[in-house]
Structure 1
Amino acid sequence: MTDPYHARLRAPDPGAPLIFAFHGTGGTEDQFFDLVRQVRPDAGIVSPRGDVSEGGAARFFRRTGEGVYDMDDLALRTARMAGYVADHKAAHPGAPIYGFGYSNGANILASVMMARPELFDRVGLLHPLIPWDPAAADLTGRRVLITAGRRDPICPWPLSERLIGWTSAQGAEVATEIHDGGHEIRQGEVAALAGLLTG
C-alpha cells in the first residue's frame, strides 16, 4: 500500500480495534499517538500528518479564513482520506475501525464520516466546526462522541448543537461532553474519549 501521508503506525493486536487519530491545526502525527497507547494499549494506530501547510502549520484541508473552508479542496481531501482509511481497513480485515480528531482533525474526520459512513464503527469529534449543511448519511449502528466548549471562539456553540442534532437524526448513537470553556480539550473530554475507545 502506498501511503499518501506521513504517519505513525502501529498494527493492532488480535481482536483489537484500529484507531485513526487526527491532529488539530499545527499538530503532528505525534499529538495523540501516546494518548491512544495509554488508553488502548492493544489497539492499532494510524496517526497521519495533515498534508496542507498554512503558514507552516499542518492541516488536513485548506481554508480562506477562520471558519471559511475551501469546499472544493475539502471534497478532494475528504476523498483522499476516505481512500486512505479504506486501504488501512482492508489491510486489517475484521478489526473494528475507530477514529477521533480534534479541531481541524475532527473536521476532516466528520467530512469522511458524512461521505463514507460505512468506514468507521466509532467516531470521536473533539471541537468540530461544520459550517455547511451536510447531506443525509446512514449512521445507524455507529457510536459518535461530540465534544464542545460553550464559549469556544473557533467553533460556535450553535453550530456544535446543530451537528449533534444532525448526527442523532442520521441514526447514530450520540454521546456528548460539553464544558463552559473555549477551544481547549478538558479532562472530561479525555475521559469521554477513553470511554468511546475502550467501552
Structure 2
Amino acid sequence: MKAGSTIAKLVPVRRTLPQKIFFTIVALTTLTLYYSGYRPVDFMKKSRLSFHKRPETSHLDCGRILRGDMAYIASVATHRPVLRSSEQISSCEEIRSRVVGSAPMKTLAFGVAYARIVYRDYEFLEDELRSSYHSQNYFCYSIDRKANKNFHSRIEKLASCLPNVLITADEYDVDGAGHNMNHAHYACMRLLVRKPGWGYVVLLQICFKFLVRERAK
C-alpha cells in the first residue's frame, strides 16, 4: 500500500425483517410504475389532482420516495410516523372535498361497480374510495355484523353524502374462512344491478385490497 493512501472498509448494513419488506415493496412499486410509463409529476400536472395529507405525514416528501431516493426512504423507515385513528364523523362538505375534489373528471366509456365487505378502518376505506372515485362508478359496502357503532355511523354518513355510494340493508357475520362472503357480495350486487352505466363489478374482501391503476384505466 502506498504511503498516505487509505482503504475504506465497507460494512454491510443489517436491516430488520420489517425494513427489508418495506424496501422491497417500495422498490417493486417504483419499478412497476416506471416501466408502465407512469410519471408522478406529469400525472399530477395533467390531472390537477390534490391529495389531503394527514397531519402525521404532512412532512413527508412522497415524490422522493416514488423516485427511489433510497437515503430518504431509509430515513423515513427508521422514523416512521404513528397514525392516530380518528372516530370523528365528518360533514358532507368535508367528505366531498376529500373524496371528489375539484379536478374535472373525463367521461368514461363505462363505469365500474365495486362491492366491498367492510367492518373497520374507515379512513383506509375513504382513501381507497378517493383513488377509484368517479361519478360514473358505483361503490357498495356490505357492513359486517361485528362492526362497531361508530364505524356504522361513518359509513352511513359517507353514503348519505355521495349518491353513488350504497349500503346493503342486510348484514352478515363474515370471517377469514369465507363464511357468508357470497351472501354479502350478493346483497351488494342486488343493489348495483339496478344502477345504470357500469360494465364490470369488482368484488373486494375484508382484507386490505386496493387498486393500483388510476380510475380511467
> For this structure pair, what is the TM-score category when the shorter chain's length is used for normalisation?
0.3 to 0.5
Higher strand share: 1
Using structure 2 for the length normalisation, give the TM-score.
Answer: 0.32
Using structure 1 for the length normalisation, give the TM-score.
Answer: 0.34
Please tell me whether Structure 1 or Structure 2 has the larger radius of gyration of its CA atoms: 2
Greater relative CO (CA pairs within 8 A, separation 6+): 2
